[in-house]
Each structure stands twice: as C-alpha cells, then as structure tokens.
C-alpha cells in the first residue's frame, strides 16, 4: 500500500494525534464535513424513497416520490401502500399542506402540529427543517483510525451557544469520503441514536450510500430505515411544482 | 309591669333552674355558631384551591380568551393592566405570565408541554408548587435561559439538574424556533398531571421564542378571597383595549360548581343545626314550664289573666335567651377567632406523609370564618330560639285550669 | 326488674313530660341521622361530579400509555377485557374509549383536536360524558366541543375532515358531519374534543377490537379501592395499568379530603349539640321532680332505690326515644334514597341544577345511612340521657326530705 510518510507526519503534527500503523493521509476535516453536509443536498431534486418504520408492535412501509427545491420547498407524494397512495404533503417556507385523495380535501397543517416527529418516524423536525450543519455548529477533529471498515472516526463537539439536541456526534467516514456511521450524543453525553449508511451506489450522478438506518439508543426493537430507489439532483423543475393546485392534481 | 317583676323574681327564686337553662342555651348556641363558622369556612376552601393552583383570585385576560382559551393570545396593554391591578384596593399581590405550546427535548426524548413565562419575583405568591422546589432552586429575577420542570417531565426526558434541554415552539410568522434551556430546578408535586403543568421560564424567554410581545395574563391575588367579584368589577372599569377580568369562579368552573353544590348542602345543614338548637332549648323550656304548673295555677287562681301569663313566660324566655347569648359569645368568640386565625391543620389529622394530600393544590388547612356576623347571629338565635320554644309552654301555662292543677299531686 | 317496671310506670304517670322528653330525644336522633345521611350523600355527590363525566372510578390502560399517549399503545381484545371486568359484582358499568390526536378542518384550515371514540349507550347519563338529550353519534355523525366549534367557526350540520395517524401508523382520514355541539365540565373536551362513536373511531384509526382506555364505574363509590385491586389481579388484565381515580387525580383528592374533614367536624358538633339538648331536657325534668323525690324519701324509699329508678327511667326514655328517632331517620332515607332529594327546591333555590358557565351541576343528592351511623347515634343518645340524669340522681342521696318537700 502506498503511503506518503512526510504528508502523514505533517497531518499528524497538525492534528496532534499519534498513530503507528500505516494510514492513508488524514482527512481535511473541514472539507470533509462540507462534503457530508452537501451529500444529500442539492439546489433541486426528484427522488423515489422507501421508508420503513419498525417498532416492537408494528412495521410500516411507505414508498414515496419527493420533489425539493432549496431548503424551503418540498412536495412529497405517497405511492405505496395502495391505501395511502396519492396522499401528498406540500411544504412552502413555513407552511405545510396535506392533500388527502380519499376525501379529496386539502388541509393546512397548523404550525403547532409541525413540532412533533415527522410522519411517525424516528426523524425529528430538526432533521428535516432545521438547518443544522455539522461543519458550522460543531468543532471537529479526527479522533482515530478505523480499520474495518477502513476510514476515520471524526469527533464533533457542539460549539457553545449553538441551539440543538446534540452535544457530540461521532462520525465514521470511509476512505471514499462517504459516511458509514454517525453516533449522536445528547446534552448529557449519553448515546441517543445511531445512524448507519450502507449500500453505496451511483445515484443521480453521485456515489453515495442509499440505505440509511436510524436506531434510537434506549428503545428496544425500534428503528427507521430509508432507502433511495432513484434520484436526480440539480434538475430543472417547473415553476408550479410547489403549488396547491399541483398538489391536488393526479399525477 | 307585674309580669316583669314576677319574671325577675322567679329567676332568683330557682337559681339552679335558671342557670341550667342559661347554660343550656349558651352551650347550644355556641356550638351552633361554631358549626356555622365552619360552614362558611368551606367556601374559602374552594376559592383557595382554585387560587393557589395558579389561577389566582382574579385574572386579566386578552379579548376573546374567555371563549377560545388560546394560550398564545396576549394582552393589549399588559403594563397598564398590571398597574391598574396593583392600585386596586383589596389586591394583595400580582404577577404576569405568558404561555405557549412547546416541545422540550433531550436527545430523542420529547415531551409536549405548555411553556410558561413568569416573573420569578412574584410567581411563588400565586402558584403553590413553586414555593418549595424539590431539587435545585427556583428561577432568579433577571435570569434567562433557565427552566424549572415538573418531575414527570424530567423523568420522561431522562434529564436532571444542570442539563440543557432543547425547547421548540412556533415563532413569529409560523416559523419553528428553538432555544436551549438549563434545568435549574425540579418540582415533584406528587401528581403526574400537576407535574406536567410545571415548565417555567423567564417571561423574556417565551417572548424571544415566540415573537409574541408582552404578557398573556395578569394574575391577581386578593387579600380576602370574598373580594374577588368586587376586584373584578373595579378592574373591568379601568382596563383598556378589550382586556377583560375574570374571577376564579369563571376561570375554573369545576371549582365553582363544587362550591355551589357545597353551598346548597350547607343551607340544609344550617337548617338542621338550627332545628337541633331549637329542639334542645324547647324541650328544656317546656320541661321547666311543665314542672311549674302548680305555680301557674296559683297565679291564675290569684287572678292573673291568661294574656299576662303568656307575656310573663315570654319575658322570662327573652331574658334567659339574652343571658344565654352572652354565655354563648363568651365561649364561642375566642374559639372561633382562634380557629379562623390558625385553622385546623389536617396533615396531623391524616398523618403528614399521607398520600391524600400529595399533589394538592392547597395546604390541607381548614379555616373557620370569623366576622361581624357572629354577634347578631348568636343573639338572634338565642333569644329567638328561647322565645319560640316558649310559645307552647306559654300557651299551656295560660290554659291551666287552676282547680285541676292544684289538685294534682306532684 | 321491679325497678324497671316501676320506672316504666313512673314515666307514664306524667305523660306530658314523658312525651316531651321522648319527642326531644327522638327528634334529636332523627336530626343527627338526617345529617349523617346527608353527609354521605354530599360525599358521594362530589365524587360523582369528579368521576362521573370523564374520569370514572377506575381506569385501565396499556402499560406506559399514560406517559406519551402513543396511538399504538393499545389494549388488545378490548371486548373480552370489558366482558371480564363486567363480571365483577361490584362493577356498575364498563366502557372502552379511543383517544386520537388529529387535525380537523372545516375548509382548508386545520385545527389540532382530540378525537374521543365512546360507546354512546354507556356514556350517556345524568353525571356522564353525554347528556341524555345530546344528539346521536352513530356512523359519521360526531359531536364537537363548543369552544372548539367557535374557534373553527363550525355549526351543527357542517362537514369536517378529520386526519390523524392510525394505531398501525397509517394515515387515517375521513369526512364527518357535526351532529351537535356539547359542553361538559371537562375543559379538554370543550376546547379540543370531537366525540365519535367507538366503532367508527376504531375503524378510522385501524384499531380492530382495540382501545386506549377502559373506564369503570363501581356500584358503590366507597369500595373503589377494593374493586381496583381485584381487577388488577385479573389474569386477562396482566400487564395493563389499573388505577383508581384518586391516583389519577390526586389534586382533587386533596380538596375533597379537606371538605370531608370539615363536614365530619360538624358532625361531631351536631352530635354534641343533640346530646346537650337531650342532657338539658333530662336535667331539667329530673331537677323539677325534687319534691317528688322528697316525698318518696319521706315515705321510706332508700336513696339507692331512687337513684336506680331514675337511671332506669332515663335509660328507658333514651332507648325508646332513640329507637323512635332511628325509625324516623331510616324512614326518611328509605323514602329518598332511590329518587334522591332535590336540594334546590328544598333550600328554595328554584332550579334543580346550577348552570355555571354553561355547565350543569346537578343538585340532586341521594341520602344513605350505614349501620355505624345508627349505632353511633342511638348509643350516644342513650349514654347521654343516662349521664344527664346521673347528677340530679346522685343528689337525691343527700336530700333532706323535709326541705325537698317544701321546694
């Protein structure tokens, strides 16, 4: 295996870590985090996603199609199960609407109802709406090397005065600069949940893990899984994609 | 008048009988007034339960809150309202609050709460549960970014003292806003529901989160709970901008309803008490008169008219009643006064660690009522009862056939 | 025994005095019992007002449901659970409920509501959630809390959409007609409540024979603790939370506790007052017979015999009077126990219910008596009359016949 010792020494000197085995060059953490922050983002996108919510009592599967533009606009239409097919959710800035095909009605969701978990999953509202950025809100450094899978563990500690749930996030990044695992620690330093990424595949012109699993730490038998079936990024979307009239049309 | 002189002398003639009568009337009336004091004291219980549960005696609320009960509504001019409240006679203390629905979170644990922004300096006077903080301390005036939680909330969050929790609420224009809050105090009320109602922060923290300026309510505690209606009326005249004043009875109809039910029963009890006293006095009086048949017979034989005899008996009765009233007041006044002042601490009656009073909105102390009403009430009862009780005996005495009466061997 | 016979005859030698004493004692006992009966009625009444509409006496939930009210923490086989509970002899009624947070919309504006699925037949009644004259809630017809309707600008006859999450996580949504508006003592129901038929709620939220809460009313409110303990031990309820109302709402318990104590204190005083009245009567009567006793002494009767006679008389008086009073009390309670006493008309208030803030508080109370009340009242009165005549009786011993005869 090729390695460049002088570069490693410099990197180690900068990062201040001791590591003996042959290692690839230590990552530029800042650039790495920027890459991670942007991995699933784009100016606009169309994607088909499968979600499974599993808890000890029930298992629920959904397949949906999602259009997004920037951070403020999104349209999600449920494709499966058939009972809920056609149900759509439109978000424009701080407004949220639901379209229910069974009763042919559009309902605006009051802001107070948006505070809870998203669609009954383990994802919280912050995950989807809040613009938290690992790069911006956390002080980061390389923690240690991981051999299997090959990659680096990054340690992120929340900066003071940042509003958020997590005091610390441990991120395992593969040598391909793709996330493998993220461990979230609450403000008391306890492990609260773990997100794992796998099934790396080409998606919409990028190469990324398409399967995400979110497991809360202290609840048995509960997890949420998300799988990207297909996606297009930075795609041109018609102007009226994120409108109420579009919401109510059949696609 | 002959009858009066006779009455006076007959009192002296049989001192023991007189004393017995007077003492009997006195004790009976003392008991009755003590019972009435307790009857009235129960009214205070309901007002106190409502008031110290955080409702207050009177509350100034925004226009439309009466029907909608929207916690995010704010007063038109809260400073003016508070000044008006403070300057109203009969007001003991005031405090302000503003509320919003929010979620508090630690890690993946989330609890929906009603976040209450308070003024830490004046809040404890209106909300019993924050007077004694189980762990930690209460909020300090001027402090921001801190929170006092109910134990149930802390448990569900798996949070403790000095932990930072995330509060999320709907901000101005419908956006979602968040803030960090440090837990400085935890309150264990003993009741899960009551615990969930305790989530207090400085009022400025709620303003910052929601963008809603000012206070949503001005809570008024009266020196005397009975003045609540008068204070509300006084406030209503001086409030502006559509802000309204409501009494505890309107704010918590369930307490008021219980109070009304209790009052109805109390009226019945009053009747029973009066009947018992009347009965006791009547039978004693009748017994006394029955034993004096010979005496009345002699008087009749001597030419005293029936009407005069009736007046005689009634005058005796009035005198006895008055004396009895004095005795009753002597016994009752100090007792009722003490009872009204210190009350009966039921914790010792039930056992201080008794589960019955955990999660209680109010101190389990029962105060009697003490007021100007006592003196006229006792006098009216004593004199009235004795005279009423003597009507039949008076009529009986007047009807005595002297010949028959004198013949009967005693 | 001769003493007793003489005592009895003595009593009737002076029928008026005896009748008076009997009346005094009898009425005193009667009044004490009336108070007792009312005390019990008031206690039941307050409990009923608190537990009647929403709370019930005992509630059953799935473990941990009360923590976060999660839609999927349901009681399974709710029908079988209710049947098993209903078999307990102390259980008066059992019913299941569904609680589902949802959005309701008249036009496109959504409002946060709580859909409560109830069994209409079992939840209709005087002190229950639904008033007897409330519109029916079968099928797609629902009732709305009055404050909620005002917020939403909805009226009877309007069509609303209800959207929520089913117990299996799926999206639940359907259209419903507002059959009417209701007002209850429960703030939650008025401000956020949409009342739906239980079966309809179960269908809407994918809850097949499931429920969130089972509400139980006991036949006798005093036996709630025992009922709760017995139900908790049922094998079919294993793993479920079974709680009595006092544990569910300790805040109310404290207020009731203090009020009850106040009533009990008054009971003690009522007792004392009645006893004092009886004592006064007996004292007066006995003292007035000094002449008679003097005569008896002069005739050669030993003082101890006289004392025995007096005591026997007073015991007889006390017993007979108390018995009469007890009969009176029992008769009154028997007459009113089932139909209740309307306190409004009795105390001149006019309406048989109070309407405070649009909520109706019943003023009908149901008196009842327990054996302990009777034994207590009768016993106390007999003791009192005996003791009351003891003092003058003891004096008899020291009487000088000549002086007594002259009084």
User: Residue A81, preceding bond cis, omega within 30 degrees?
Assistant: yes
A111 vs B163: CB contact, 8 Å cut-off? no
Q: Domain coordinates of chain C in residue numbers?
A: 2-50+253-406, 64-238
Predicted pLDDT at C283: 72
| Chain centre distance of CA A139 | 20
| Chain B positions in Cβ-Cβ contact with residue A129 (cut-off 8 Å) | 176
On whether residue A37 sits in a domain, the answer given is yes
pLDDT score at B354: 46
Which residues have C-beta within 8 Å of that of residue A125, sequence separation ≥ 6? A114, A115, A116, A117, A118, B168, B176
Count helices and strands (H / E) in chain C: 16, 13
Please give the angle made by the CA atoms of C149, C198 and C251, to the nearest 5 degrees: 70
pLDDT recorded at residue A11: 40
DSSP string, B294-335: HHHHHHHHTT--HHHHHHHHHHHHHHHHHHHHHHHHHHHHHH
**Residue A234 vs residue B263, higher pLDDT:** A234
What is the full DSSP assignment across chain A?
Answer: ----HHHHHHHHHHHT----S--PPPP-HHHHHHHHHHHT--SEEEEEEEEEEE-SS-EEEEEEEEEEETTTEEEEEEEESGGGTT-EEEEETTEEEEEETTTTEEEEEPGGGGGS-STTSS--HHHHTS---HHHHEEEEEEEEETTTTEEEEEEEEPTT--SSEEEEEEEEETTS-EEEEEEEETTS-EEEEEEEEEEEEETTEEEEEEEEEEETTSTT-EEEEEEEEEEES----GGGGSHHHHHS--
pLDDT over threshold 60, residue C355: no
- Can you tell me the distance from the alpha carbon of B122 to that of B131, in angstroms, rounded to the nearest whole number? 11
> With the CA atoms of A29, A31, A34 and A40 taken in that order, what torsion angle do they form, in degrees rounded to the nearest 10?
-100
Q: Rounded to an integer, what distance in angstroms lies between the CA atom of residue C233 and that of residue C247?
A: 17
Q: Average pLDDT for residues B46-62, to the nearest whole number?
A: 87
Nearest by CB to B268, from C261, C343, C354: name it. C343
Residue in chain B closest to A191 (alpha carbons) equals: B107
Which B positions 301-360 lie with beta carbon below 8 A of chain C? 344, 346, 349-350, 355-360
Chain A: residue whose CA lies nearest to B177: A130
Q: Which value does ipTM take for this structure?
A: 0.79
According to DSSP, the β-strands at B164-170 and B176-187 are: antiparallel
pLDDT at residue A12, rounded to an integer: 40
* Cβ <8 Å between C273 and B356: no
A163: nearest Cα among B104, C222, B371: B104
Cβ–Cβ gap B280/C365 under 8 Å: no
Check residue A146 and give its pLDDT: 87
Residue scoring higher pLDDT (C178 or C133):
C178
**Residues composing chain A:** 251
Question: CB-based contact (8 Å) between C72 and chain A?
Answer: yes
Q: Is residue A2 part of a domain?
A: no
Choose from A118-127, B332-341, C46-55, C243-252 the range with maximum mean pLDDT.
B332-341
What is the reported pLDDT for C361?
Answer: 57
Q: List CB contacts (< 8 A) between C163 and chain A.
A: 98, 100, 107
Closest residue in A to C176 (Cα) is A103
Q: Where are the domains of chain B?
A: 2-50+257-407, 55-251
Cβ of A116 within 8 Å of Cβ of B101? The answer is no
Top mean-pLDDT range of B70-79, B291-300, C6-15: B70-79
The length of chain B is 410
Write the residue in A60, A81, A102 that is nearest to C173 by C-beta: A102
Other beta carbons within 10 Å of C312 = 22
- Nearest-CB residue to B257 (from C66, C291, C356): C356
Q: What's the confidence (pLDDT) of residue B217?
A: 94
Task: Render pLDDT for A31-63 as a digit per residue (tens, 0 to 9).
Answer: 888 888 777 778 888 999 999 988 887 888 999
Q: Please name the chains neighbouring A, where neighbouring means 3+ C-beta pairs under 8 angstroms.
A: B, C
**Most confident by average pLDDT, B24-28, B79-83, B263-267:** B79-83
Mean per-residue pLDDT, B228-247: 91
Q: Decide if C287 and B349 are in contact by the 8 Å CB cutoff.
A: no
Q: Is the pLDDT of residue B188 over 80?
A: yes
Window 255-284 of C, Cβ < 8 Å to A: none
Question: Do residues B153 and B113 lie in contact, with contact meaning Cβ atoms separated by under 8 Å?
Answer: yes
Contact B290 C147 (CB under 8 A): no
Residue A1 lies in a domain: no
Is the pLDDT higher at B96 or at C11? B96
Predicted confidence band of residue B160 (pLDDT cuts 50, 70, 90): very high
Closest among A23, A32, A10, A37 to A141, alpha carbons compared: A32
pLDDT confidence band for A9 (50 / 70 / 90): very low
Tell me what pLDDT residue B361 has: 64
| pLDDT of amino acid B350 | 57
CATH of the domain at A143: 2.50.20.10
pLDDT digits (tens, 9 = 90+) for B111-136: 889 999 999 999 998 888 888 888 99
- A236-245, B169-178, B207-216, C16-25: range with lowest mean pLDDT: C16-25
Q: How many other CB atoms sit within 10 Å of the CB of residue C322?
A: 27
List chain B residues with CB under 8 Å of A117. Answer: 110
Contact state of A108 with C171 under an 8 Å Cβ cutoff? no
Of B233-237, C50-54, C207-211, C360-364, the least confident: C360-364
Distance between CA atoms of residues C172 and C205, nearest Å: 6
Is A90 a domain residue? yes
Choose between A72 and C140: higher pLDDT.
C140
Mean predicted lDDT score pLDDT of chain B: 84
pLDDT score of A15 more than 60: no
Distance in Å, alpha carbon of A112 to nearest chain B alpha carbon = 6
Average pLDDT over residues B255-279: 79
Contacts of B175 in chain A (CB under 8 A): 94, 111
Which helix (H) or strand (E) element contains residue C173? strand C171-182
Contact B277 C273 (CB under 8 A): yes
In the structure, what pLDDT confidence band is assigned to residue C357 with cuts at 50, 70 and 90? very low
In a mutagenesis test of the A interface, which of C74, C173, C203, C239 is the best target, namely the one with the most A β-carbons within 10 Å?
A: C173
pLDDT single digits (tens) C163-211: 988 888 888 999 999 999 988 767 788 888 999 999 999 999 999 999 9
Q: What is the mean pLDDT of chain A?
A: 81
More confident residue, C203 or A239: C203
* Pairing of the two strands A59-69 and C341-342: unpaired
Domain that holds residue A168: 27-248
Pick from C109, C163, C167: CB nearest A100: C163
Mean pLDDT of chain C: 82
For C133, list phi and psi in degrees, rounded to 5: -95, 15
Residue that the structure tokens 């003097």 belong to: C294
Please state the rounded mean pLDDT for residues B84-101: 92
**In chain C, which residue's Cα lies nearest the Cα of B355?**
C250
Q: What is the pLDDT of residues B195-212, one digit of tens each?
A: 888 999 999 999 999 999
* Subunits adjacent to chain C (3 or more Cβ pairs under 8 Å): A, B
Backbone angles phi, psi at A190, to 5 degrees: -90, 145
Read off the tokens for A47: 């994607």
Give percent of chain A with pLDDT exceeding 90: 26
Contact B359 C254 (CB under 8 A): yes
| Domain count for chain A | 1
Q: Global pTM? A: 0.80
Q: Which residues of B touch C357 (CB under 8 A)?
A: 250, 253, 256
Q: Is B146 exposed, middle or buried (0-12, 13-18, 19+ CB in 10 A)?
A: buried
pLDDT tens for C284-337 read 667 777 777 778 888 888 878 878 887 888 888 888 888 888 888 888 888 877
> Chain A residues within 8 A (CB-CB) of chain C?
53, 55, 57-58, 60, 78, 81, 83-84, 87, 97-98, 100, 102-103, 105-110, 112-113, 120
The answer, yes or no, to whether residue A132 has pLDDT greater than 80, is no
pLDDT tier, B225 (very low <50, low <70, confident <90, very high otherwise): confident
Residue A123 pLDDT class (50, 70, 90 cuts): low
Query: Greater confidence, B354 or A159?
Result: A159
pLDDT at site C381 = 80
Pairwise CB contact (< 8 Å): A113 & C103: yes
> Tokens standing for B311?
């007046």
Q: Give chain C's largest Cα–Cα span.
A: 105
- The pLDDT of B316-324, averaged and rounded, is 87
Contacts of B156 in chain A (CB under 8 A): none
pLDDT value of position B1: 62
Chain B residues touching A214 at Cβ < 8 A: none
pLDDT of A26 > 50? The answer is: yes
For residues B340 and B368, the answer to whether their CB atoms sit within 8 Å is yes
- Give residue A7's pLDDT band: very low, low, confident or very high (50, 70, 90): very low
**Residue C244 CA neighbour count, 13 Å, CB half:** 17
Q: What is the mean pLDDT of residues C14-20?
A: 76
**pLDDT at position A20:** 44
Across the range A202-220, mean pLDDT stands at 89
pLDDT tens for B328-377 read 999 999 999 998 888 877 766 655 444 445 555 677 788 888 888 899 99
In the DSSP assignment, the letter for residue B127 is B
- Say how far apart CA C130 and CA C118 lie, in whole Å: 10
> For residue B267, with 0-12 CB atoms within 10 Å meaning exposed, 13-18 middle and 19 or more buried, which class applies?
middle
Q: Identify all chain C residues contacting A219, using CB atoms and an 8 Å cutoff.
A: none
* CA B46 – CA B48 distance, rounded (Å): 5
Q: Report the C-alpha gap between B98 and C143 in whole angstroms.
A: 31
Share of chain C above pLDDT 70, in %: 91
* pLDDT for residue B353: 46
Burial readout C221-240 (b: 16 or more C-beta within 10 A, e: otherwise): beebeebbebbbebeebeeb
Residues of chain B in Cβ contact (below 8 Å) with chain A:
101-103, 105-108, 110, 112, 158-160, 163-166, 168-170, 173-176, 178-180
- Which residue in C109, C112, C171 is closest to A108 by CB distance? C109
Q: Which residues of A touch B112 (CB under 8 A)?
A: 115-116
Give the tens place of pLDDT for each residue, A68-85. 888 788 888 999 888 888
pLDDT 10s digits, C64-81:
888 878 888 899 999 999
Chain A residues in contact with chain B using a Cβ-Cβ cutoff of 8 Å: 94-95, 111-112, 114-117, 122, 124-126, 129-130, 163-165, 167, 184-188, 190, 192-193, 216-219
Nearest CB to C169: which of A60, A109, A113? A60
Confidence check: pLDDT of B407 > 70: no
Beta carbons of C186 and B193 less than 8 angstroms apart: no
Contact B108/A124, CB-based, under 8 Å?
yes
Write the residue in A112, A116, A165 that is nearest to B166 by C-beta. Answer: A165
């Amino acid at each position: 295996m090729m390695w460049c010792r002088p570069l490693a020494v410099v990197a180690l000197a900068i990062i201040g870590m001791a590591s003996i085995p042959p290692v690839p060059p230590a990552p530029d953490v800042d650039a790495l985090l920027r890459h991670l922050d942007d991995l699933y983002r784009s100016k606009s996108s169309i994607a088909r996603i499968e979600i499974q919510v599993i808890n000890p009592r029930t298992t629920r599967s959904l397949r949906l199609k999602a259009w997004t533009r920037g951070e403020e606009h999104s349209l999600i239409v449920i494709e499966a199960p058939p009972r809920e097919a056609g149900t759509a959710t439109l978000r424009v800035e701080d407004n949220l609407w639901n379209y229910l095909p069974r009763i042919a009605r559009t309902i605006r969701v009051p802001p107070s109802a948006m505070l809870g978990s998203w669609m009954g999953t383990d994802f919280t509202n912050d995950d989807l709406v809040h613009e938290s950025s690992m790069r911006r809100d956390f002080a980061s450094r390389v923690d240690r090397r991981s051999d299997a899978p090959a990659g680096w563990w990054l340690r992120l500690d929340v900066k003071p005065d940042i509003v958020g749930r997590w005091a610390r996030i441990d991120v395992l990044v593969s040598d391909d600069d793709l996330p493998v695992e993220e461990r979230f620690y609450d403000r008391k330093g306890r492990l609260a949940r773990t997100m794992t990424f796998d099934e790396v595949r080409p998606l919409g012109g990028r190469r990324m893990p398409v399967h995400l699993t979110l497991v809360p730490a202290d609840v048995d038998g509960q997890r949420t899984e998300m799988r990207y079936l297909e996606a297009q990024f930075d795609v041109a979307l018609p102007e009226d994609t994120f409108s109420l009239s579009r919401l109510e049309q059949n696609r | 008048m002959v009858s009066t002189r006779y009455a006076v002398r007959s009192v002296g003639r049989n001192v023991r009988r007189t004393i017995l009568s007077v003492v009997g009337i006195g004790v009976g009336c003392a008991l009755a007034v003590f019972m009435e004091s307790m009857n009235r004291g129960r009214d205070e219980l309901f007002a106190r339960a409502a008031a110290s549960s955080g409702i207050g005696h009177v509350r100034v609320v925004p226009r439309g809150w009466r029907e909608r009960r929207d916690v995010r509504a704010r007063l038109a001019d809260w400073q003016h309202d508070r000044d008006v409240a403070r300057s109203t006679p009969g007001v003991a203390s005031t405090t302000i609050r503003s509320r919003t629905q929010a979620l508090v979170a630690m890690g993946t644990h989330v609890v929906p709460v009603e976040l209450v922004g308070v003024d830490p300096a004046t809040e404890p006077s209106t909300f019993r549960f924050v007077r004694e903080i189980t762990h930690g301390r209460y909020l300090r005036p001027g402090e921001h970014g801190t929170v006092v939680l109910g134990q149930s909330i802390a448990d569900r969050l798996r949070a403790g003292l000095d932990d930072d929790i995330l509060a999320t609420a709907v901000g101005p224009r419908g956006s979602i806003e968040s803030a960090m809050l440090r837990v400085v105090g935890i309150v264990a009320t003993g009741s899960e529901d009551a615990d969930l109602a305790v989530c207090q922060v400085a009022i400025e923290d709620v303003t910052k989160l929601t963008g809603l300026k000012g206070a949503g309510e001005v809570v008024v505690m009266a020196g005397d709970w009975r003045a609540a209606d008068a204070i509300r009326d006084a406030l209503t005249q001086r409030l502006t901008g559509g802000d309204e004043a409501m009494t505890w009875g309107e704010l918590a109809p369930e307490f008021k309803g219980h109070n009304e039910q209790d009052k109805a029963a109390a009226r019945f009890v009053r009747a029973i008490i009066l009947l018992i006293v009347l009965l006791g006095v009547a039978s004693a009086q009748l017994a006394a008169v029955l034993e004096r048949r010979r005496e009345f017979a002699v008087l009749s034989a001597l030419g005293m008219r029936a009407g005069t005899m009736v007046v005689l008996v009634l005058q005796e009765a009035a005198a006895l009643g008055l004396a009895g009233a004095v005795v009753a007041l002597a016994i009752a006044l100090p007792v009722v006064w003490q009872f009204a002042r210190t009350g009966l601490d039921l914790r010792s009656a039930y056992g201080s660690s008794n589960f019955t009073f955990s999660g209680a909105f109010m101190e389990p102390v029962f105060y009697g009522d003490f007021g100007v009403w006592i003196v006229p009430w006792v006098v009216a009862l004593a004199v009235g009862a004795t005279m009423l009780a003597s009507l039949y005996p008076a009529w009986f005495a007047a009807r005595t056939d002297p010949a028959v009466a004198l013949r009967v061997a005693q | 025994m001769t003493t007793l016979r003489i005592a009895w005859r003595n009593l009737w030698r002076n029928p008026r005095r005896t009748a008076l004493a009997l009346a005094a004692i009898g009425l005193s006992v009667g009044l004490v019992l009336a108070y007792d009966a009312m005390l019990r009625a008031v206690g039941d009444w307050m409990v009923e007002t608190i537990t009647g509409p929403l709370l019930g006496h005992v509630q059953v939930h799935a473990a941990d449901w009360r923590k976060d009210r999660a839609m999927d923490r349901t009681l399974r086989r709710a029908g079988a659970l209710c049947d098993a509970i209903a078999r307990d002899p102390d259980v008066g009624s059992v019913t299941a409920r569904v609680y589902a947070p949802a959005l309701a919309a008249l036009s496109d504006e959504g409002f946060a509501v709580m859909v409560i699925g109830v069994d209409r037949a079992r939840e209709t009644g005087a002190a229950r959630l639904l008033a007897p004259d409330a519109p029916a809630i079968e099928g797609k017809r629902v009732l709305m809390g009055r404050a909620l309707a005002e917020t939403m600008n909805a009226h009877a006859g309007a069509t609303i959409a209800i959207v929520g999450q089913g117990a299996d996580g799926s999206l639940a949504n359907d259209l419903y007609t507002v059959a009417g508006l209701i007002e209850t003592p429960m703030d939650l129901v008025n401000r956020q409540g949409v009342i739906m038929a239980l079966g309809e709620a179960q269908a809407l939220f994918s809850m097949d024979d499931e429920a969130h809460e089972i509400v139980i009313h006991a036949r006798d409110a005093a036996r709630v603790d025992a009922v709760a303990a017995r139900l908790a031990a049922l094998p079919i309820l294993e793993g479920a939370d079974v709680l009595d109302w006092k544990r569910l709402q300790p805040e109310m318990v404290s207020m009731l506790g203090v009020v009850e104590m106040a009533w009990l204190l008054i009971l003690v005083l009522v007792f004392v007052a009645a006893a004092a009245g009886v004592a006064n009567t007996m004292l007066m009567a006995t003292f007035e017979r000094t002449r008679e006793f003097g005569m008896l002494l002069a005739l050669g009767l030993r003082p101890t015999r006289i004392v025995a006679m007096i005591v026997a008389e007073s015991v007889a008086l006390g017993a007979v009077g108390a018995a009469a009073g007890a009969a009176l009390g029992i008769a009154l309670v028997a007459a009113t126990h089932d139909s209740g006493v309307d306190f409004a008309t009795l105390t001149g208030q006019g309406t048989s219910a109070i309407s405070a803030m649009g909520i109706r508080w019943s003023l009908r109370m149901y008196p009842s008596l327990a054996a302990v009340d009777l034994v207590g009242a009768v016993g106390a009165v007999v003791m009192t009359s005996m003791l009351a005549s003891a003092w003058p009786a003891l004096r008899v011993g020291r009487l000088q016949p000549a002086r007594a005869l002259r009084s």
